[in-house]
Amino acid sequence: MLIFKVLILVALLKLLINTERPNLCAGIYTGIVLLINLMSGVGFLTAIVATAIAGALALIYFWLLNHFRDTAIFWVILIIGLVIGLV
């Protein structure tokens, strides 16, 4: 599961760099989180709430990455986000 998360985040980061659309990346991430939550057997309401929180955090994360794209802060945000996302 860890490798799956890493591959998803790397693909979304590549998409963000190419498109500069953090909303698109956050939306894709949110959809994937919803599918994983529903397949893992958690309750529907729990899956929706967890997905909404993950989506909001993903939007903030990808927006920050896009906003600080050409600075050194980009790498700090990238690493912190990857560590938090993999936990």
Between 37-41, 66-70, 72-76, 79-83, the lowest mean confidence (pLDDT) is in 79-83
Residue extents of the structural domains in the chain: 2-86
Q: Is 44 exposed, middle or buried (0-12, 13-18, 19+ CB in 10 A)?
A: exposed
Report angle CA 78, 14, 10 to the nearest 5 degrees. 60
pLDDT tens per residue across span 9-42: 889 999 999 999 999 999 999 999 999 999 998 8
**Cα–Cα distance, 22 to 64 (Å, whole number):** 9
Q: With 90 as the cut, is the pLDDT of residue 6 above it? A: no
Q: Tell me, what amino acid is at 5?
A: K
Which DSSP helix (H) or strand (E) runs through 8?
A: helix 2-19
